[in-house]
Amino acid sequence: MLLSKSIFNGSWLFLVVLAYPPLVFTDKLSDTLRIFLFFVLTLYLFFKTKILLYRHLVNLSILTTFIVINLFSINFESQLDLSNSASLFLTLAFAIALDRACTNNTLSISLVKFYVFLFTLIPLMMIFTLGWYFFFGELNLHNLQIGEVGSNEFLYTPFGALVPKFTDSVYLRSTSFFHEPVLLAFFLAINTFLSVAGSGFCARNFRKLNFVGGVLTLSYLYFAIVLTLLIWRMRDKFRLNNSLTILYFTFILIALGLGYHALLMTSSLQIRLDRAAIYLSLYPMLSIGDLWLGSGINPHTEFSNAINTGAITLLYKFGIVGLVSIVTLIWMLTHKNILLFIACLFSLFSYEPYLFPLFWLAIISFVAVSRKSFEHVHNSSNVNIGL
């Protein structure tokens, strides 16, 4: 079945998420309009259903705790502190509201349609990007600017951007319309394991296209997530005992150790290690309050590099309580899906995905797609998602 004509009947609601990072369209819509639409969407999702489960109360408690502890570290005289804090709080509220709204079957189906269509389109555009560049060269049709102003690192086409794996390298990484390949890798990795119910083009080719897209990113994060999840699934499928599972992971660690220098040369690992070292050097100087509640959403250090290494950044900004709050919220929104949770942790240790509405939308979509696919297989009378 072809993609249903009704895909945007409810799915269009989620288009505003595409105007937020890690996609590059943030400057294509006024901040005021973008924030207003996102705020209205969050309110609509939260009050879409009257159902209030125990899980929803736990999620709201986590959000309340997170907001309260951050009120102590916000500099209310700083416009940057206020705007960044409000943006983060709204993003987390959106995640909780979307999870609650998906108890409504109609909205859940709309979300599934939007997500599957989006991540069928993105890998296709990644392929078209390479084809366009090799046949026609560069064309910055959308007037995009990724990275630093004046940077010539990215190569633009109407279907997305490319970036060399190394300086002056022939290995081009397709990024679609994401700021960096690593920011796209998480989504493609989890989608590689996502079975979509239906007989249409999107449903039949979803995992294949996301696998191809993942390879085109040439991102270590993509391959790390996929390899880990493959091993975990083999553990369940072949009923491997814990000793064999540990042996597999030990082998991977040894292989990484042997290729450590090559890994440093071909990835951003060294930069991430340097940034993590900054936190370790600051750790002895942190007060008890900073350790537990964090140093604030926009901390300043005397170092030229930012503490920008995912979980380390989260720990420094929001402390132990903030780190536990975010990780617990991820665990709750994955509906305790261990494979999805593992993928989220990989992402969390690479950058700060919790800042992005699309990250939370992907988690909840993954759960919704999995549930719809399960229902499709086990109940032939179930509503087809039309993909």
Place of tokens 């999620």: 59
Q: What is the pLDDT at residue 118? A: 96
Q: How far apart are CA 226 and CA 220, in angstroms?
A: 10
Q: Does residue 365 contact residue 115 with C-beta atoms inside 8 Å?
A: yes
Nearest alpha carbon to residue 61 among 292, 296, 291, 325: 325
Q: What is the pLDDT at residue 98? A: 96
Q: What is the pLDDT at residue 193? A: 92
Instruction: Compare 331 and 233 and report the one with higher pLDDT.
Output: 331
- The mean pLDDT of 217-245, rounded to a whole number, is 75
Q: What is the pLDDT at residue 19? A: 92
- The mean pLDDT of 25-34, rounded to a whole number, is 85
- The mean pLDDT of 211-222, rounded to a whole number, is 91
- The mean pLDDT of 48-77, rounded to a whole number, is 88
Q: How far apart are CA 18 and CA 228, in angstroms?
A: 29
pLDDT band at 290 (very low <50, low <70, confident <90, very high): confident
Predicted confidence (pLDDT) at residue 7 exceeds the cutoff of 60? no
Instruction: Compare 288 and 36 and report the one with higher pLDDT.
Output: 36
Q: What is the pLDDT at residue 273? A: 58
| Residue 357: cis peptide before it, omega within 30 degrees of 0 | no
Predicted confidence (pLDDT) at residue 165 exceeds the cutoff of 80? no
Q: Does residue 209 contact residue 124 with C-beta atoms inside 8 Å?
A: yes
pLDDT band at 134 (very low <50, low <70, confident <90, very high): very high
Name 38's Cβ contacts closer than 8 Å, sequence gap at least 6: 16, 17, 19, 20, 90, 94, 357
Q: What is the pLDDT at residue 311? A: 77
CA atoms within 13 A on the CB side of 25: 14
User: What residues form DSSP beta bridges with 259?
Assistant: none
Name 79's Cβ contacts closer than 8 Å, sequence gap at least 6: none
Predicted confidence (pLDDT) at residue 274 exceeds the cutoff of 50? yes
Q: How far apart are CA 374 and CA 51, in angstroms?
A: 22
Q: What is the pLDDT at residue 242? A: 57
Q: What is the pLDDT at residue 212? A: 94
Name 146's Cβ contacts closer than 8 Å, sequence gap at least 6: 24, 154, 161, 175, 179
Number of C-beta neighbours around residue 27 at 10 A = 12
Predicted confidence (pLDDT) at residue 262 exceeds the cutoff of 90? no
Report residue 169 as tokens.
Answer: 């390298």
Kindly report, residue by residue over 168-202, the tens digit of the pLDDT. 556 788 999 998 888 999 999 999 999 888 778 88
DSSP H helical segments within 267-304, as ranges?
269-282, 288-293
Q: What is the pLDDT at residue 9? A: 58
Q: Does residue 314 contact residue 348 with C-beta atoms inside 8 Å?
A: yes
Q: Does residue 44 contact residue 311 with C-beta atoms inside 8 Å?
A: no
Q: How far apart are CA 338 and CA 362, in angstroms?
A: 15
Q: What is the pLDDT at residue 271? A: 58
pLDDT band at 28 (very low <50, low <70, confident <90, very high): confident
Q: What is the pLDDT at residue 235? A: 67
Mean pLDDT computed over every residue of the chain:
81
Q: How far apart are CA 81 and CA 278, in angstroms?
A: 22
Instruction: Compare 95 and 173 and report the one with higher pLDDT.
Output: 95
Q: What angle do CA 101, 103, 104 make, to 5 degrees?
A: 75
Name 239's Cβ contacts closer than 8 Å, sequence gap at least 6: none
Nearest alpha carbon to residue 100 among 50, 63, 38: 50
**Single-letter amino acid, residue 222:** Y
Q: What is the pLDDT at residue 142? A: 82
Angle between helices 220-237 and 338-348 (to 10 degrees): 160
Q: What is the pLDDT at residue 6? A: 45
Measured between alpha carbons, how far apart are the two ends of the chain, in Å? 7
Kindly report, residue by residue over 312-364, the tens digit of the pLDDT. 888 888 889 999 999 999 999 999 899 999 999 999 988 889 999 999 999 99
Nearest alpha carbon to residue 158 among 131, 120, 180, 188: 131
Q: What is the pLDDT at residue 4? A: 43
Query: Of the ranges 68-77, 175-184, 198-207, which is most confident?
Result: 175-184
Buried-exposed string 316-352: b where 16+ CB fall within 10 A, e elsewhere: bbbbebbbebbbbbbbbbbbebebbbbbbbbbbbbbb
